[in-house]
A and B are shown apart, each in its own frame.
Chain A
Amino acid sequence: MSDASRNKGPHDIGGEEAGPVDTIDHGMKFWERQANGLRSVLRERDLVRTDELRRAAEDLGEQYSKLEYFERTTSALRTVLLEKNLITEDELKSKMAEVRARFNVPDEMESPLKKGARR
């Protein structure tokens, strides 16, 4: 393996071909605002750190570039909260089921991570 690829994170793309840059403001979806708010509060209370979230996002590997920004940061937040035992997998699952029912989310909607894994 060459120096250029050894332990290089998916975020470290300085100097690589990037194609055209999308400069359109796409705004934020409802869940993106919620997720952003949650992440900000947890950081403000020092329960999670920016560096931990960055590391968890970089650890997504190939998924990193397939996910959109808020999908990536939310996935990283999930990883860190589970790591620190601030939530458990079971608690997250039951809460997601509850929210899904409350918002009447169609069953066929699934996480982008799972969808990506099947591609």
Chain B
Amino acid sequence: MTSASPPVAKPRYPSTYNPAPGHRFNVGDRIAIRRTFPPGHRRTPFYIRGKQGVIERICGAFANPEELAYGFDGEPKKVLYRVRFLQKHVWPDYNGPQHDTIDMEIFEHWLEPLPDTRN
């Protein structure tokens, strides 16, 4: 017996993807990373705090690692976004092509809205 579709390997681990129905931002939105320096386990690197970028995708909602790090359950889940930045904006002395970008996955509570200047 033949099948039109190739066999798909069963993933060893189920995906943790959660479609995040309550997300605050949409793809294309301009945002800034909060410039704040709280103590504790934080997953937002120092060098990106205060920088401006654009939402590239909504990754889903995940247990909050800033809470998991201290033995709590990480609920409520936080929405994670992939944010795109211009390299020359992140690194003022960047020598590469002007259009080079860096993508970073950052949780919603680290993001602030910026006025939309697209048109």
A49-96, CB < 8 A from B: 49, 51-52, 54-55, 58, 83-84
User: Which of A6-14, A18-26, A32-40, A100-108 binds B?
Assistant: A6-14
A110 within 8 A of B: no
B17 at the interface (CB under 8 A from A): no
Residue total for B at the interface (Cβ-Cβ under 8 A): 18
What number of residue pairs across chains A and B have CB atoms under 8 A from each other?
42
Cα A4 to Cα B70 in complex, Å, equals: 24
Complex interface bits, B49-70 against A, C-beta within 8 A gives 1, otherwise 0? 0000000000000000100111
Pick from B42, B46, B71, B74: contact of A4, CB under 8 Å: B46
Q: B-side binding surface: helix, strand, loop or mixed?
A: loop
B39 lies within 8 A of A49 (CB):
no
**Interchain CB contact under 8 A, A51 and B65:** yes
Identify the B interface with A (CB < 8 A): 35, 37-42, 45-48, 65, 68-71, 74, 91
Q: How many A residues touch B, CB cutoff 8 Å?
A: 17
Q: Is the CB of B69 within 8 A of A51?
A: yes
Q: In the complex, which residues of chain A have a beta carbon less than 8 angstroms from the beta carbon of B70? A: 52, 55
A binding-site residues for B, Cβ under 8 Å: 3-4, 6-9, 12, 14-15, 49, 51-52, 54-55, 58, 83-84
